[in-house]
């Protein structure tokens, strides 16, 4: 869950993402026809559990919508920015109108606000957060540091989450279902797919902790590093492991008898290459 921080959104926008309406927010709200509202194209949340929506629908039937949703103008209607659960539940409750505050925000702000709203409520899985952060980088040209500052988390957390996108579809699905936590899944990044999936299954079956998964991942990776060809120097291996740790990517260093050699850095997406280039240029 994201701790409330000064994200540079301004007092008004921060207030609109809270759980309780302030007099300032209520004074800005107006009734908007639900039929004129379309979903947020930048919504990072992909799953809305039916039981949660059912409970909220019953609450809205009894008490109405207490906290206005946030919209921005779009064509002859509006696009939802924050409050999709309230909007969906209001439709289910049969409401024709919903209280809303309309603000003219950019596409990047729309994504930023949607992420913050969901993370404040712990509604996003690690994979949903990672995909949203990666979208800010890939589509809007943000750096990892800028993402961290806008969302109110550490740059290390942004980096660790984005690295989860390297995992196989099976493991990412396990994270999305919250069968695996970020701490349990993070050690699997960089392992061969089959090995990583076997460890993920073992983690769920045996209830391994994040620390136990780190140790299991180290053991699984050991044969690849501790049983090298006989002509590989121990200093070369140490340097290879050091580069892997510092870059956060798989690094292979091979030396030839004449003094030359090759340095290979494997990456799976452009953002990882950008990170390496920034470190080399910096």
Q: Given this model, what pLDDT does residue 58 score?
A: 94
To the query of whether residue 84 is one of the catalytic residues in this protein, the response is yes
- pLDDT-based confidence at residue 272 (cuts at 50, 70, 90): confident
Residue 106 has pLDDT above 70, yes or no: yes
Percent of the chain with pLDDT over 90: 51
Contact 190, 250 (CB under 8 A): yes
DSSP-assigned letter for residue 108: H
CA dist 152 → 156, 209, 265 (Å): 12, 27, 31
Residue 8 has pLDDT above 50, yes or no: no
Q: Given this model, what pLDDT does residue 183 score?
A: 93
- Overall size of the chain counted in residues: 282
Q: Which of 116, 139, 144 is nearest to 18 (CA)?
A: 116
Residue 3 has pLDDT above 50, yes or no: no
Least confident of 11-25, 112-126, 153-167: 11-25
3-state DSSP call for residue 99? strand
Domain spanning 11-121: which CATH class is it, in words?
alpha beta
Spacing of C-alpha 109 from chain mean position: 16
State the DSSP string of 199-246: HHHHHHHHT--HHHHHHHHHHHHHHHHHS--TTS-HHHHHHHHHHHHH
- pLDDT-based confidence at residue 50 (cuts at 50, 70, 90): confident
Residue 122 in tokens: 């712990």
Q: Given this model, what pLDDT does residue 11 score?
A: 46
Contact 34, 91 (CB under 8 A): yes
* CATH code 3.90.1530.30 region(s) in the chain: 11-121
**Residue in 24, 58, 63, 84 annotated catalytic:** 84
Residue 239 has pLDDT above 70, yes or no: yes
**More confident site: 73 or 8:** 73
Contact 110, 83 (CB under 8 A): no
């Amino acid at each position: 869950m994201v701790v409330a921080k000064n994200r540079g959104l301004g007092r008004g926008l921060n207030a609109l993402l809270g759980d309780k309406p302030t007099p300032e927010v209520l004074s800005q709200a107006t009734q908007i026809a639900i039929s004129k509202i379309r979903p947020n194209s930048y919504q990072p949340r992909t799953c809305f559990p039916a039981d949660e929506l059912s409970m909220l629908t019953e609450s809205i039937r009894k008490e109405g919508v207490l906290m206005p949703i946030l919209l921005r103008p779009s064509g002859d209607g509006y696009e939802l920015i924050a409050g999709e659960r309230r909007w969906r539940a209001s439709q289910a409750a049969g409401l024709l109108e919903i209280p809303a505050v309309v603000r003219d925000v950019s596409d990047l702000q729309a994504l930023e606000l949607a992420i913050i709203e969901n993370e404040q409520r712990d509604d996003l899985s690690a994979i949903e957060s990672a995909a949203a952060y990666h979208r800010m980088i890939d589509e809007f040209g943000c750096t990892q540091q800028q993402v961290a500052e806008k969302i109110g988390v550490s740059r290390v957390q942004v980096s660790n989450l984005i690295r989860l996108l390297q995992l196989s579809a099976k493991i990412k699905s396990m994270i999305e279902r919250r069968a695996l936590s970020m701490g349990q899944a993070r050690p699997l990044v960089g392992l061969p797919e089959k090995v990583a999936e076997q460890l993920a299954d073992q983690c769920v079956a045996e209830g391994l902790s994040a620390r136990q998964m780190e140790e299991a991942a180290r053991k699984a990776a050991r044969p690849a590093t501790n049983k090298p060809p006989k002509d590989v120097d121990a200093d070369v291996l140490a340097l290879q492991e050091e580069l892997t740790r510092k870059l956060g990517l798989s690094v292979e260093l091979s030396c030839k008898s004449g003094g030359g050699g090759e340095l290979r850095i494997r990456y799976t997406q452009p953002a990882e290459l950008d990170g390496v280039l920034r470190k080399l240029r910096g």
